[in-house]
Structure 1
Amino acid sequence: MGSSVLDRNCFILCIMLLLSAQSRSQEIVSRATYYKSSDGLGTSSGACGYGEYGRKVNDGRVTGVSKLYKNGSGCGACYRVKCKMPSCCSEDGTIVVVTDHAEGSHTPDFVLTANAYAEMARPNMDTKLLSCGIIGVEYRRIPCLYDANLLLKVHEISKYPAYLAVLLLFVPGSDDITAFQVWQEDSNNWRPMRRAYGAVYDISNPPLGVLTLRFQVTVSADYNYWVQLDNVLPSDWDAGLTYNTGISS
């Protein structure tokens, strides 16, 4: 079943972490603002399709992005964002996870949660920083690191057995997920899945039985590789459930 596919979990993890170590070190100048919520966390209705995960991952330090959304392949990316106001901003900035799309004629690159935005401030300066609204920032992409295994979620829009939609949670590294496929045992080939929206991939009339899937990781315009998830979904998979891939993040 695809002899060129990287299908040994330990080997996969080593490669992902090695690639992640080559994180984007160049800091880019941009702008950021924040959206208000009663608890300072994210939203469960973000464009990436993460649901409640998109609200609480990374302790709610998440962001909507504009051009960095990249038609959904930017979902799940991690960035270190630092504001450029030395009088009230810390050197450390904040680390955020992309969970939403934020677009408009005057939209900054980042629309952070209030908690993440305030975290960029020096001690006791968060109120002053929050009063600024839109601020200048510099950012760089960094590897995502989680104390959790990579999970495959069957999205709530799935309808067993005729329609399957999936997405990945706790994706490590600093590269993009750009394709998904499911193995069709009876025809001995990989069937492509469609990017439905955000981080969600779907397929009508998926194979019956236990399912093996794989996803493509794009490192650069010239290099990508596949990660295979053998027998990751049971024959009676159910909408809304998450399944452990066994790959550590």
Structure 2
Amino acid sequence: MELHSKYQAVLVCVMLLFPVLCISQDFTTSRATYYGSPDSYGNPRGACGYGEYGRTVNDGSVAGVSGLWKKGSGCGACYRVRCRDAQYCDEYGSLVVATDYGEGDRTDFVMSPRGYSRLGRNPESSAELFKYGVVAVEYTRVTCTFAGANPLIRIHESSKYPDYLALVVLYMPGQFDIVSMEIYQVDRNEWRTMRRAFGAVFDIIDAPHQAIIVRLQLVGTAGRYWAESKRAIPSDWKIGASYDTQLNID
């Protein structure tokens, strides 16, 4: 369940879209670096609270972001990042998912080694970029597309059944920021606002002892709107479990 590869994306762009649409993306100038990782994947203790998902999603091509962090609502955003040295840099660049907070030397992206290596034209070029440590880049936000994966809501490990509930959304498609999360309390006939605990994790004390319906407030290019789950989280939820809520994301 990974993002489409850069080669698949280029092929779709060439075959299905008018050429002007393929080159009309707006890029922002910045800098990128990378962090150490024994297996080149992401950090399971990332500030977004994604756990193992934040380590392996998108085949480990992930990044910590600074200015794009947005107090945690920037978690899960997808970016196309390309470096600017014609001798070493791949024209398409690297597609990364923001799963952590990270600051470098005036950088917007602190990338996993797997993500950083994909900036290069070939393995030899990537090796040269690693020697630089920090490279000039340009980036643009792109639509997240997770092949074969539906949006999931995971019960965060900090939860304590049955009263303290913490949730995090995985595999969110599109170009949306999750700015708020609410759960419906049947006995009160009302929506209750959850607190953003940290990163992408929302929590609530005195959680309902019943099946739980969740809705997300999303902000994207089309504006701000609510997306309500089509399936409830069961009342006997399990810590660490993920539930397919069949969120209706337009």
The reply to whether TM is greater than 0.5 is: yes
1:196 corresponds to: 197
RMSD: 1.8
Letter in 2 for 1:91: E
Residue 214 of structure 2 aligns with an amino acid whose one-letter code is L
How many residue pairs were aligned? 225
| Aligned-partner Cα distance in 2 for 1:122–1:86 | 9
Would you say 1:98 and 2:77 are equivalent positions?
no
The one-letter code matched in structure 1 to 2:96 is: V
SS in 2 for 1:99: strand
The amino acid of 2:114's aligned partner reads: N
Q: Secondary structure at the match of 2:169?
A: strand
Indicate conservation of the 8 Å contact 2:227/2:247, yes or no. Answer: no
Deviation of the 1:25 alpha carbon = 2.7
State the shift of 1:162 in Å. 0.9
- Report SS of the residue matched to 2:133: coil
CA deviations on 1:2-53 (whole Å, 9 max, x unpaired) are: xxxxxxxxxxxxxxxxxxx9xx931000000001111111010000000010
Would you say the 8 A contact 2:154–2:241 is kept in 1? Answer: yes
In the alignment, what sits opposite 2:86? 86
- Judged with a 3 Å threshold, the aligned counterparts in structure 2 of structure 1 residues 230 and 205 are, in CA distance, closer, same or farther, namely farther
Deviation at 1:103, TM superposition (A): 3.0
The C-alpha deviation readout for 1:59-79, integer Å capped at 9, x for no partner, is: 000000101011000000000
Show the counterpart of 1:161: 162
Question: What SS class does the counterpart of residue 58 from structure 1 fall into?
Answer: helix
* Large movers: runs of 4+ above 4 Å: none
Give the strand-richer structure, 1 or 2: 1
On the 8 A contact 2:167/2:203 being kept in 1, the answer is yes
Q: Does 1:138 align with 2:138?
A: yes
CA contact (8 A) 2:84 2:137 kept: yes
Distance 2:59 2:246 in 1: 23
Per the normalisation by structure 2, the TM-score is 0.86
Establish whether residue 228 from structure 1 lines up as the match of residue 241 from structure 2: no
Counterpart in the other structure of 2:178: 177
State the distance in 1 between where 2:33 and 2:220 align.
Answer: 29
| Percent identity between the two aligned chains | 46
1:125 CA drift (Å): 1.2
CA contact (8 A) 1:150 1:248 kept: no
Q: Report the equivalent of 1:207.
A: 208
**Residues 148-171 of structure 1: per-residue CA shift (max 9 Å, x gap):** 011100001001111000010000
Give the C-alpha shift of residue 208 in structure 1: 1.4
| TM-score (normalised: structure 1) | 0.87
Q: Distance in 1 between matches of 2:89 and 2:25?
A: 20
1:239 maps onto 2:239 in alignment: yes
* 1:152 to 2:153 alignment: yes
- Residue 53 of structure 2 aligns to which amino acid in structure 1? Y
Say whether the 8 Å CA contact 1:66–1:107 is kept in structure 2.
no
Aligned to 2:111: 112
Offset at residue 86 of structure 1 (A): 0.5
Report 1:49-64 matches (<5 A): 49-64=49-64
Describe how 1:59-70 pairs up with structure 2 within 5 A: 59-70=59-70
Larger deviation, residues 172-181 vs 230-239: 230-239
- Alpha-carbon shift at residue 230 of structure 1 (Å): 3.7
* C-alpha contact 2:229 2:248 (8 A) present in aligned 1: no
Q: CA deviation at 1:90?
A: 1.0
Query: 1:32 touches 1:110 (CA, 8 Å); kept in 2?
Result: yes
Q: Which runs of 5+ in 2 are unaligned?
A: 1-20
Whether the aligned pair in 1 keeps the contact of 2:163 and 2:208 (CA below 8 Å) is no
Instruction: Output the amino acid matched with 2:146.
Output: Y
Distance of aligned partners of 1:51 and 1:107 in 2 relative to their CA distance in 1, 3 Å threshold: farther
* Equivalent residue letter for 1:143: T
Query: For the Cα contact (< 8 Å) 1:149–1:248, is it kept in 2?
Result: no
Q: Partner of 1:146: helix, strand, or coil?
A: coil
